[in-house]
Structures are given as C-alpha cells and as structure tokens.
Structure 1
Amino acid sequence: MDHLSLCPLVVPLLCLVILALSKIFKTVIQDQEKSTADIPPGSHGFPVVGETLQFMLSVNSGKGFYEFVRSRRIRYGSCFRTSLFGETHVFLSTTESARAVLNNESGMFTKRYIKSIAALVGDRSLLCASQHHHKILRSRFINLSLTRLVDGSTVVQWSCSQICSRKPFSLMRKVWPNLAHFITFKAMCKMLISLENEEELGSLQRDVGFVCEAMLAFPLNLPWTRFHEGIMARGRVMEVLEKIIRDRRNETNSHNNNNHEDFLQQLLAVDSDDSASSSDHYTKLTDAEIKDNILTMIIAGQDTTASALTWMVKYLGENQKVLNILIEEQTQVAKQASDKPFLELDDLTEMTYASKMVKESLRMASVVPWFPRLVLQDCEREGYKINKGWNINIDARSIHLDPNVYSEPHKFNPSRFDEEAKANSFLPFGMGGRTCLGLNMAKAMMVVFLHRFITTYRWEVVDGDPSIEKWTLFARLKSGYPIRVSRRL
C-alpha cells in the first residue's frame, strides 16, 4: 500500500527532474555556442579521441588520408577545425594564410608534426626541431646540400642508364614504384653516405619502408602494432648510421681516408675543423642530430621524389600532346650533350619545358598535401580566432586545385607556368624559413630522369587504377602504375 501511495508523486517528480536537466543542458549548450562562436567551424568528434577514427579510416582507404581533409573543406569552407590524436587541428586553404603562416614574419608559428611522425624521424630532425634549433641545423645543412646537386643528378642518370641497358622483358615484370624507389633510394644513399652495397641497400630500404608506413599509424607502441614495427625499424637504421659514422671517424683518426665525397663526410670534416669549432657562432652537431637528419633526408628524398616520378609518368601517359613537346625538347638536348658522359647543370637550364612539366606534376599531385605548424600565441586567421597550442595546417593541395588561383586546375597544362604563378600559390616544397632543403636536388633528379627515360623508352600502362596506396605519408598510386616498355628506335 505504501508503494502504491507514492506512485502519484513519482510522475510529477520525474517531470520536474527532466525539466531541470533540460534547462541545465540548454544553458550549457548556449554557453558553449557563445564561447566558441568566434573559432573556426568544424567538429571535435568524440571525447578524447576526436575524429581520429575517421582520419584512420581514410588512411586505410583507397582515396588516401587527404580525403578526410577534402570532405571537411567542402562541408565547412576554407577554414575549419577538427581534433586528431587528442589535439585541435585547424586547416587553412588560402594564399593569404599560406603567406602569413609559412613565412612566419610574426614569429607566432613553429613546425609541428603529429606524434607518430616525430617519434619515427626523431626530435633532432629538421622536421621536428624548435624554431631556434631549426635555424642552427639549417645553417649547417643548406650549403652542403647545394654542393651535392650535380653529384646526385649524375647518380640518378647512372641508375637510369643501368636500367635502360636491361632487356625490355625484365622491365615488363617490374612494378613501377619499385623502379622509382630503386633509383631515388640509391641516389640518396650514394649522395648522403656513399652506401652502394646491394645487400646493405636492400636491408636499409626495407627498414626505411617500415618507418614510412608507420608515420600515420596510431602511436601505440605495442608489439603487434604498425607503429611498433616502425620504431623497431628506426632503431635498426640508427645502428647502421652509427656504425658508418664510427668507421668514418676511425678512418680519419688513422689517416686512412677512403676519399668519401658525400654529405656525411662534409659534416664530419667541418666538425673536426678546429678553426670552425672555435667560431663564436658555430655549434658542433651531435651524432644523434646527424643520424636523425640523414634518416629524414633519405625519407624525404626517396619517398617524395619516387612518388613524384610516378605521377609524372602517369600525367605524361594521359597527355600525348605534352609528351610530344617534351620528346622534341629532350631530343634536342640529347644531341647537344652527346659528347658528355653525364648531363651537366648547363644542360638542365636548356630543359625549360621539362621544368614546367615537373612543376605542373607537383602542383596536380601535391605529394606533400599540407604543412603543419604549432600556434605559439593567440591570433586570428580568416576572421576566426586561433588559440595558442593548437595545430594549424596550410592545405597546399586545396590551394593547388583552387579555380580562383589556377584556371582549369584539374587540367594538366605545363604551359600555365609560362608566366609566374600567383604569389604564395605554388607550395610543393613549402615556403619561408622551413622551405625544403632538397628542392633543387629533387627538381634536378626529376628532369634528369625525364630526359633519360623519354629519350630511351616508349611505354604502355599495365594498370591505371587511380586508387591511393594505404598507409603512405606521401600520395602514391596503389597499383604503382606499372608499365610495359620498349626501346625507342
């Protein structure tokens, strides 16, 4: 009876509770909307994990991880926010924002990569160094990189010559990305550390591949994870580089110099120079800094360049008119350089259309789709408030394909570069103080490869599947764009 007598009170009590909760909930929502009205549109997704799951699904899809960004840009516009790996990320896709953020004249931004990338390349890498540390490292590396330009180009040319000397049927069975990676990886290892032993190159390339595949993995360091496999591979790469550095120093101390002419040798030679070491502005590099940055250069040099070469051949195969113009130019260059064992810098300056073709390929492919920075103090961009501690990303791919920036942006047209591109609109190598150190080397590799390849071969596509390979930091085709080749007469 007592329970029955309470029943009439339960219903109104529940109604009061529901009403009170609804008012509280409404107040919280209104306060949240009021407090976030001036920040970029977007979604923080689920608590803690944010939209990380959606991002990982795009990484593991045939459209590639950039699809995550593209779909949200369509939904929210040129400025939006999301939450990835527990941090807020803002994406911007205007030339004005590219200029302000990448040039960083205000000093409000510094470079920042997601945790998995930073752990794999190392915190002493140029990619992850603080602004002050980056300036020190860059000052040490920039001149050395430029001095190796011709050497790196000739290595690519030599590699192409070796491949071109093989019988056509062996190339028919060779998948394209393996070919491209063989050329660029061999060139980078020759230029950086003079590594040429085929077995050692193969082992090192496998481990670097594991590192690259782990860069977009969730940073969970457990034995069965992709990230753990990448971390273990990084450790093996560090051991190889440590041994090379130790052997070089032993050679120097014993005066048994094998006349290495590579990037590492120049670094070690400068560090052992007493006059340089005594300079007030000189900072000697640690072995950890050298190792992290050699790994970074191998990854950036071989993976981005190999991907770019693949896209170039794809675009050429789809645009016969462009290919015909290029063949005519390169045939003329070949005649002029016929008495030389290798192309020289003067020959590269004659490849004006090839240079435009390289630029157009880089624009359309956008191998590096965006450039991340960390916000050091509250600021405003595109009418929205950006908070200190957030990550801000310049969406280069979106800028490259913006019809307000490039006429008919999805049409492959090297001649669009007959004139200079609009300011802050061509970003394959970044911009400002963090511009890629290897941009001249990459361009040289690409035009030298183009010259050798198109003057020697004809080709037909075996598999033109446009799907993007999974788990890759730099956009490349899932099929690898395999081709069947035959020699030109």
Structure 2
Amino acid sequence: MELFFFFLISLLLVYSIYFGIWTLAYKTKENVTGMRPSLPPGSFGWPIIGETLQFIVAHYEGTVDKFVSKRATKYSSKVFKTSLLGENFIVFSGAAANRFIFSNDNKLFARWRPPSVQKLFPSMKFVPIEHDAAKAKKFMSLFFKFSEAQKLVASIDSISRNQLKNNWEGKDEVKVHPLVNIYTFTLVCHLFLSINDTEKVSKLLYHFNHLNEGILSIQLSIPGTPFYRAIKAAEALRKEIYLIIKERKEALAKNLASPTQDVLSQMIAVPFDDGFMPELEIADKILAFLIGGQDTTTATITFAMKYLAEMPHLYNEVLKGIF
C-alpha cells in the first residue's frame, strides 16, 4: 500500500511536467505589447538589485512563504509588485489569485522566459513559447498514450522498492528530501530516457543539481557564482544527452529500440508541424522536462510524507479512499 501511494503521487505529478519550464513566469499582455499597465502596491526596492537579497535569504532559509506573506500583509493585498534578479515582477498569492492567472492564460497574461532561462537553454531563443509549450504537451500526451499503464506501474514499483531497500531500510534516521530527490530523478531518467544505470543517473544528478540551483539566480557569469555553475552544468548535461541521442538514433535505425518506448524516442522519431527537432532542441526540452518534474515532485512527496507521519489518521483515510 505504501508503495502504491508513493507511485500514485509520482505518476500524477509526472503527468504535469510539461508545465515546468514553460509556465515559469508570466507577463501581462499589456506589458508585452509595450503599453504601461496599472501596477498594484509594492516596492521595486534598490536600483538594479531590487529585493533580490531579501528573496535569496528567504530562499536559503526556506521561508519564501514569509517573504510573500510579509509583503501581502504590509500592502494589504495578495497582489503586489517587486523586483527580483534584475526584473520587475507582480506577485500573486492565494488560491483565488492563482486561479485568476491560469484561467486567463493567453488572454490577460502571456508566458515569458526570464533572461537566465534563455541563456541556459539556447534553443529557446528561436522557438516561440506558445509553440514550445504545444510541443511539450504533445510529447507528454504521446508518452502516456503509448505507454501501457501496467508496464508503467511495474517500472515505478520496481524503482520505488529499490530506492526503499537501498536508502531507507535498516536506517535509524533518514533525511527525506534528499532521498526523495534521488528517487524522483531516478524515476524521470527512466521514464524519459530509459536510463537505469545508477552511476549514470548519479552523474547526471550531480550536474542537474547545479543547474537547478542557478537557473533563477543573478546572472553573474563569474567562476564561483551559482549562475556560472549552472551554465557549466547545462553544457555538461547537454553533452551527456547528445551521446544518449546518438546511441538512441543508432538503436532505432537497427530496430533495437522502439519509437514509443520513452519521451526521447518520440522526440527523435515523431515530427512536429515544422518537421523533426534538431538535437539542441531535443536536449533542451529533455532538461526542461527534468526541471519541471524534479523540484515540484520532490517537494510534494516530501510534504505528503511529513504530514501523513504527523497525522496518521489521514493516511488511513487516504488508503480507504484508494482501496
């Protein structure tokens, strides 16, 4: 039962991965078209750096929610303006505000890529974000369409058992978040790239953690900064993915791999409206999928385990609802 619950959370969240990098940020359509919008209360902070330092401190202390709630209280509004990482932002907080954003996608709001993301993912400079999101949605839909549920359940169950056996069983104490991070990355590597080699997964995870830490950092390409490490990590990851793409193309040509076995095969074998994707775009999309599915999935499973451990009666209710 525990493994099934673990799998259920993972599967539901993996299906939402195509939202990841594509819905990273929004700008109002008025802003995109150059018209000056009416701004909510708030402060842009210091010139250039804005309120970035306060946000970074909150991030490392794990109190981003307090960063938001403090300003929402100060301005008596769940919508306020601020400036982070050299960009002006409007922050929406609360269920109603988020519902307003997502119900007005491509109406009052347009998707937007921060400059740091464009620099780390070169192919995104040449592909309109709506077109990019459509591709992402298509390939994720194809993956779940052609993947047999029984095989998916068996694969995820096997990975879950191995992770629990190797990292959890027999331990007096475990740090949940780092271990769940390894679990989710192992899972997405299997689902998207058919990688099952633990050493290769560990190598990719090492670079991936540096990329994830610097993707929304201050754009200082100086050795030692998070953004510089993210640039180097993205280059190293693309190099590894290029090798995997080359091997997969050879396997597909020799009928040693299936065009529908994972997301990578489908990106190689299935054309979009503008033809087959170049390798750079494939590599960037794979990285975007990994980012989209990693932090959100890891955080959700970690919090689910935390709250279920603190309130075991809810755990029993969840199991009753499932079975």
TM bin, normalised by shorter chain, reads: 0.7 to 0.9
Please state if 1:242 is matched with 2:213. Answer: no
* Match of residue 411 from structure 1: none
Which segments of 5 or more consecutive residues in structure 2 lack a partner in the other structure? 1-35
Q: CA separation of 1:304/1:129 partners in 2, compared to 1, >3 Å: closer, same or farther?
A: farther
Q: Is the 8 A contact 1:111 1:129 kept in 2?
A: no
Which piece of structure 1 moves more, 196-205 or 45-54? 45-54
Q: Which amino acid aligns with 2:256?
A: N
Q: Which amino acid aligns with 2:73?
A: I
* Match of residue 304 from structure 2: 312
Q: Compute the displacement of 1:67 (Å).
A: 2.8
Q: Compute the displacement of 1:246 (Å).
A: 1.1
For 1:172-183, what aligned pairs fall within 5 Å after superposition? 172=172, 174-183=174-183
The structure in which a higher percent of residues are helix is 2
SS at match of 1:171: coil
Write the distance in 1 (CA, Å) between the matches of 2:186 and 2:291: 12
Q: Compute the displacement of 1:220 (Å).
A: 0.5
Please state if 1:351 is matched with 2:322. Answer: yes
Write the distance in 2 (CA, Å) between the matches of 1:37 and 1:147: 45
Q: Which amino acid aligns with 2:322?
A: M
* Match of residue 50 from structure 2: 50
SS at match of 1:124: helix
* Match of residue 103 from structure 2: 103
* Match of residue 383 from structure 1: none
* Match of residue 68 from structure 1: 67
* Match of residue 251 from structure 1: 251
Q: Compute the displacement of 1:37 (Å).
A: 12
Write the distance in 1 (CA, Å) between the matches of 2:37 and 2:106: 25
Write the distance in 1 (CA, Å) between the matches of 2:269 and 2:192: 14
* Match of residue 217 from structure 2: 217
SS at match of 1:309: helix
SS at match of 1:80: strand
* Match of residue 314 from structure 2: 322
Q: Is the 8 A contact 2:176 2:302 kept in 1?
A: yes
Q: Which amino acid aligns with 1:310?
A: T
Q: Which amino acid aligns with 1:134?
A: A
Write the distance in 1 (CA, Å) between the matches of 2:305 and 2:44: 40
Q: Compute the displacement of 1:40 (Å).
A: 1.3
Q: CA separation of 1:59/1:114 partners in 2, compared to 1, >3 Å: closer, same or farther?
A: farther
Q: Compute the displacement of 1:185 (Å).
A: 1.4
* Match of residue 267 from structure 1: 267
For 1:477-488, what aligned pairs fall within 5 Å after superposition? none
SS at match of 1:172: coil
For 1:382-393, what aligned pairs fall within 5 Å after superposition? none
* Match of residue 159 from structure 2: 159
Q: Which amino acid aligns with 2:141?
A: I
Q: CA separation of 1:117/1:171 partners in 2, compared to 1, >3 Å: closer, same or farther?
A: farther
Please state if 1:291 is matched with 2:283. Answer: yes
Q: Compute the displacement of 1:322 (Å).
A: 1.1
Q: Compute the displacement of 1:207 (Å).
A: 0.8
* Count of residue pairs the alignment pairs up: 284
Q: Compute the displacement of 1:38 (Å).
A: 5.4
Alpha-carbon deviations, 1:38-81, whole Å to 9, x = none? Answer: 53111121222222222222223x23334322211111112211
Q: Which amino acid aligns with 1:351?
A: I
Runs (4 or more) in structure 1 with deviation over 6 Å come to: none
SS at match of 2:80: strand
Write the distance in 2 (CA, Å) between the matches of 1:119 and 1:259: 33
TM-score, scaled to structure 1:
0.52
Write the distance in 2 (CA, Å) between the matches of 1:198 and 1:148: 23
SS at match of 1:83: strand
Q: Which amino acid aligns with 2:187?
A: A
Which segments of 5 or more consecutive residues in structure 1 lack a partner in the other structure? 1-35, 272-276, 330-349, 353-489
Q: Which amino acid aligns with 1:102?
A: F
Q: Is the 8 A contact 2:79 2:92 kept in 1?
A: yes
